[in-house]
Amino acid sequence: MTASITYQGNLRCEAVHLQSSSTIETDAPTDNRGKGERFSPTDLLCVSLATCVITTMGIKAADMNVDLAHSKADVQKHMASDPRRVARIEITVSLPGNINEKERLILERTGNNCPVAKSIHPDIELVLKYHWNR
């Protein structure tokens, strides 16, 4: 088992990662009866994608002897209704500018093919942009 989730009431949950005991709390967003005081479940979907992109790039970069430390990913979620769902996820990854074109291509391909990207429903539009000038 990966995690144990407890519904706290008032549209809030606490998830405990069983291996590390770290916790994440979620809250419903303000546009869906929540307080918006924590990440929403759909926020976490988008954050999972962004962290997976940059993590898998980091793994590949380490294999290539390339340092991506302090790179950054910004994520924007776009919701749709009827049914309510994530319709589009935009991610902008800012990376060091001192990486050659071949390495950039390899790293971008790695990010585009991370496990979360390959697990997201094809109806969700994914927009991944890479900026190599941090």
Among 72, 61, 47, 53, smallest CA distance to 112 is for: 53
Query: What local confidence, expressed as pLDDT, does residue 134 receive?
Result: 63
The tally of domains found in the chain comes to 2
CB 61 within 8 A of CB 107: yes
Beta bridge partners of 21: none
59 in the same domain as 103: yes
Q: Are 76 and 120 members of one domain?
A: yes
Q: Are residues 60 and 15 in the same domain?
A: no
Q: Please state the pTM of the whole predicted model.
A: 0.94
Query: What's the pLDDT at 24?
Result: 97
- Per the structure, the complete domain to which residue 21 belongs is given by 3-32
Mean pLDDT in each 10-residue stretch from start to end of the chain (134 residues)?
A: 97 98 97 95 98 98 96 97 96 96 98 98 97 86
As a whole number of angstroms, the distance between CA 70 and CA 14 comes to: 29
